[in-house]
Structure 1
């Protein structure tokens, strides 16, 4: 890769502070680094290290309670303290940014074509027809299949990998000098992740742009980065070339990050452990193209005749690529969407219960989502979020009793009880996931379905969350269905693994059998992609 000394961005003594009800939070404390033309600079560190807030501050995208000082110069232009107009002249044109979860970054009310065309119309003054032609070029460039049809699709009609490609097309619309990619592959399965990284590398060579890659995945960093900045608690711990960081790290913290991989194993429950949740011949169909504006529709079978049995104290890991049906299966087991099949919970047939009939079971069957920031209301305090379910399932509790339960739940997940008076945006990703877990645990469930709960977290925090889930499982004799594309996490937490593809189970069995003696080629491919960098 090109590592010429031409500097695109120079950051000096950058500081970011947030004003909160509990006082000042110093998120970034005097950071210094530069980005050179044509290189990939990776910024790594645990959740809360300040890596994302550093780049958000540079782009002028901090929350209202945030303040920034210091310097960030793009060429001769100072970004810190610049007027909105000056920032808008640079953002989306010379410096662009793609985010971790494109579904929350793309507007659900507009087609992807309209959204990609906006920076072209704004920065280049293109007409609608000219912008549409350019959008088609961009969609082809980033590998979207059938671009003539997809240009008029809405974000929800695309897969996760396709949505991320749309975000990349939007970021590249004006051929920027610098692309900031904030965890661009963490929500994707290993095979799609490899495709996106190869795409970015190809586009970087084509346009000669610099890339700042914010990520917790050190495997990705080792594969694509030229230089690495390691951050901890708002400060740069060390920085250097990729070889310096991976082969000759000097800081203990860097060494810890390099060693932080999910580890351990889960013993299976006893053979006579009672069955807590079961689904027999589970089928989920979605009607595509329905409604008064569509002339025809077709049926898409997301889950196709699956049998699954979860015992008390067991953890079933469900793996597969995006679109395999694993998340849909999880929601079907919780009776959260229309499906066919026979379902039982603690020996009770729940197959035909309506919403009202399911209510007594809801507190015992909880769901933890992939993106806690999207699932936690930004308008509620953490205490309000955690105790919300108590209003439904224990309506007679007093305010003081609910508050006491919130304190207990936060302590159980390793958070300061004082955090209940703060808002979700004031927490790191790992802390938000602990809040989401606390929200489930406060209802004392028997079954928890965890849908990609660690994919947005760095490795060291992943390990902490896995250990927390293990402790909670042992303490409360919980049963988990753990859905993930991350096979190293699945290997550490599960005692039984289900491998899915195209809505069907390809293979299942004890964790050791699946990882040490996989029988199917698809399983072998997934394992090879996961454990080979």
Structure 2
């Protein structure tokens, strides 16, 4: 609960970005405060300015961004502090969990070494003490086998596991204020609940304040004391959480509370051809090993899985973080070494090398879970979206590529005038839509969608689900839809595969899996999803 004394006060904050299209004002003179020990939620759709507000407070804006106003932390304006003083505060007194963990974790260093760095820098512990503390933190955030995972690299962990590592890093030095920017975006429903409980427990134990930035109003009521609702860079409503949810005053707040993907997808026509098939697919990773590290461990991430994806079908692949969902999707696209048979159309592709796969790449597309990590920061959105055309349709003129970019951006709900901007100028949800446009511009036959809506607010999720269904109908697309968000899966998929520890534990038609699951594990997932849905309905 609130301690009564403001520990952080934002007054008349403006955040602006210089772009090729002129100055963009992302935050427009907002005021907010956080009391010691309380949890404040900042909510709003993608692009509302909620993340940029806290990035400005931490002086972490991109190079073309600027902030004016006051960000008062214990009587000092953070916007006026020299970098050396800011560095003593950031990561120690004020920590931040970022929305996209893969861009915050160095792929060249193990998880353990990255956890130890802030512990040693701010607390002066020895290497042995820092290692013990890092392992304790991994246990705290429910990373399985923390001593072994201490030696893992980011690419060896699932998206949800990487997010939990980021939470551990943020908590390493017992901060006064924890800024959590979409901390449960990449987590399945069961782990999401555990992480929220963990944050609440740590807050009670450490007495820290939490600023919780999210687009998912379904989890705010469980955690927050007060709420600020943002739209287009402004605060449109604020107040105690119970009051906001019980009697929202602003129409925009009411819309956010009511948003939820709806509808269901019809099965493909009888006799639809199989476009992508896997038989007894296995993926094994080597973990550890080396001259002084002892023998390596072999992890079977995908264990003899078979599936057949038909034209205009959507197979939803669900399961908790680390179940092998994303690894299976990449293996089927031949982006990871695997064993077993993989067939695209009438052609076996499991034995093809990189050069032989190249002509097929435009027909087999992937939309990544982490859009920021897959978008080049040095390219404009227009260049990113048309990059594949340079490879697969090199004869197109620049004008024709630009026309195709305009069309693709419109299809995913983005203003084509934004194509001269760079990825860092967009919100997480907008970046995901850019990634979808990049895949769809090539008119593929199969698209693996790896958590394509995880970074999107509920109202935009609904639009994207409808968009993907329309595109599928118009172009006879087939999707593998990988997600931990079962509400979105139910709206998207006509067939579901449930995975756990690299294996299929249950599969079947969507209605049967949701309404009459046979396995205990599936029932646990469905129960968690139903609890979240009932919660959203209740607060709406």
TM-score, normalized by length of structure 2?
A: 0.94
In 2, the alpha carbon distance for the partners of 1:304 and 1:112 equals: 25
- Helix, strand or coil at the partner of 2:386: helix
After TM superposition, list the pairs within 5 Å mapping 1:129-528 onto structure 2.
129-144=128-143, 147=146, 149-289=148-288, 294-528=293-527
Distance in 1 of aligned mates of 2:26 and 2:138: 37
| Shift in Å, 1:297 | 2.2
In the alignment, structure 2 segments of 5+ residues that lack a partner are: 533-540
Q: Post-superposition shift, 1:532?
A: 0.7
Task: State the alpha-carbon separation in 2 of the partners of residues 263 and 476 from structure 1.
Answer: 22
Q: Residue in 1 aligned with 2:54?
A: 55
Structure 2 CA distance for partners of 1:117 and 1:311, relative to 1, 3 Å: closer
Q: Per-residue deviation at 1:220? A: 1.3
CA distance in 1, matches of 2:136, 2:282: 39
Displacement of 1:314 in angstroms is 1.0
How far does residue 168 in structure 1 lie from its aligned partner after superposition?
2.8
Q: Which moved more, 1:298-307 or 1:130-139?
A: 130-139
SS in 1 for 2:70: strand
Mean CA deviation greater in 93-102 or 254-263 = 93-102
Task: Report if the CA contact (8 A) 2:103-2:372 is conserved.
Answer: no
1:161 CA drift (Å): 4.4
Identify the range of structure 1 (261-270 vs 420-429) with the bigger mean alpha-carbon deviation: 420-429
Q: Aligned partners of 1:43, 1:372: CA distance in 2, in Å?
A: 22
What are the Cα deviations for residues 321-376 of structure 1, in whole angstroms up to 9, with x where unaligned? 11111111111211222212222222223232222222222111111111111111
Task: Give the C-alpha shift of residue 117 in structure 1.
Answer: 3.5
- State the Cα deviation string for residues 137-174 of structure 1 (Å, max 9, x = none): 54454455555555454434445444334333332333
Alignment: residue pair count = 532
Superposition deviation, residue 131 in structure 1: 4.1
**Distance in 1 of aligned mates of 2:308 and 2:327:** 16
DSSP 3-state at the match of 1:532: helix
Task: Provide the rounded CA distance (Å) in 2 between the counterparts of 1:32 and 1:43.
Answer: 12
Give the drift of 1:407: 2.3
CA distance in 2, matches of 1:13, 1:214: 19
Question: How many Å separate the matches in 2 of 1:51 and 1:412?
Answer: 25
Cα distance, 1:222 vs. partner?
1.6
User: 1:212-259 CA distances to partner (integer Å, 9 max, x unpaired)?
Assistant: 011112121121111111111101111111111111111111110000
Q: Specify the SS of the correspondent of 1:166.
A: helix
CA distance in 1, matches of 2:144, 2:134: 13
Structure 1 stretch displaced more, 91-100 or 155-164? 155-164
1:43 aligned onto 2:42: yes
Q: After superposition, what is the alpha-carbon deviation per residue over 1:29-71, rounded to whole angstroms, capped at 9, x for unaligned?
A: 1111111111111111000000000000000000011111111
- Alpha carbons 2:15, 2:25 under 8 Å: kept: yes
Tell me, in whole angstroms, the C-alpha distance in 1 between the residues paired with 2:432 and 2:100.
15
Instruction: Flag structure 1 segments of 5+ consecutive residues without an equivalent.
Output: none
Q: Report which stretch shifted further, 165-174 or 273-282.
A: 165-174
Distance 2:277 2:148 in 1: 40
Q: What's the offset of the Cα at 1:443? A: 1.2
Alignment RMSD: 2.0
**Structure 2 CA distance, aligned partners of 1:517 and 1:483?**
21
Deviations 1:181-205 (A, max 9, x none): 1111110111211221111111111
Q: Report the Cα offset of residue 130 of structure 1.
A: 4.9
User: SS where residue 341 of structure 2 aligns?
Assistant: strand
Give secondary structure in 2 for the equivalent of 1:219. Answer: coil
In structure 2, relative to structure 1, the CA distance for the partners of 1:149 and 1:444 (3 Å cut) is closer
Deviation string, structure 1 residues 362-415 (Cα, Å, up to 9, x no partner): 111111111111111111111211121122212222323322222222233232
Residues 196/117 of structure 1: CA separation in 2 closer, same or farther (3 Å cut): same
Shift of the 120–388 alpha-carbon distance from structure 1 to 2, 3 Å rule, reads same
Q: 1:10 to 1:397 in 2, by over 3 A?
A: same
Q: Is the contact between residue 160 and residue 322 of structure 2 (CA under 8 Å) also seen in structure 1? A: no
Higher alpha-carbon deviation: 104-113 or 132-141: 132-141
